[in-house]
């Protein structure tokens, strides 16, 4: 399942993502991975969550982020949830790339839940993606 947490920058998306990740620790038997643009939130996450600072890897565009997530999943079959904070920044995508990203991400989400934070107001999210919005700030 793909879930989106959207809202303009500074509205509290990361706080919600961190809370959802920490809450998921007690609700899942598998592993949880949190992808972020830096390691700033390391101490806010439960120690059972693997934080990956994606700035340490050459991820560029849709193929890059999809390949990176697939690599994580192929290396650890126990991963059940992947949180991607600042999805547009982490994947180096612009607003137009969001719709293209959903098809391969839906395919990945057959194996794992994906929770994406996107720094856009709900009105800026394309209509075809509205069904994936879990939280709009």
For residue 71, give the CATH number of its domain: 3.40.50.300
Residue range 81-113, pLDDT digits in tens: 999 999 998 888 888 788 888 889 888 888 899
- The span from the CA of 18 to the CA of 38, in Å, is 14
Q: 54 is in which domain, residue-wise?
A: 2-136
Residue range 25-52, pLDDT digits in tens: 989 889 999 999 999 988 999 999 999 9
The total number of structural domains that make up the chain: 1
Beta bridge partner(s), residue 118: 6
What is the separation of C-alpha 128 from the centre of its chain, rounded to a whole number of angstroms?
18
Beta bridge partner(s), residue 136: 6
Predicted pLDDT of residue 100: 86
- pTM exceeds cut of 0.75: yes
Residue range 63-87, pLDDT digits in tens: 999 999 999 999 999 999 999 999 9
What is the separation of C-alpha 79 from the centre of its chain, rounded to a whole number of angstroms?
13
């Amino acid at each position: 399942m793909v879930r989106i947490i959207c809202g303009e920058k500074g509205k509290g998306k990361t706080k919600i993502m961190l809370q959802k990740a920490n809450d998921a620790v007690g609700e899942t038997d598998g592993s949880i991975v949190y992808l972020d643009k830096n390691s700033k939130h390391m101490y806010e996450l439960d120690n059972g969550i693997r934080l990956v600072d994606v700035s340490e890897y050459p991820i560029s565009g849709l193929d890059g982020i999809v390949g990176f997530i697939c690599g994580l999943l192929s290396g650890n079959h126990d991963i059940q949830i992947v949180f991607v904070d600042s999805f547009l920044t982490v994947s180096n995508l612009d607003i137009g790339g969001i719709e293209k990203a959903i098809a391969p991400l839906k395919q990945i989400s057959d194996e794992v839940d994906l929770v994406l934070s996107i720094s856009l107001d709900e009105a800026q999210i394309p209509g075809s993606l509205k069904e994936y919005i879990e939280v709009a700030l």
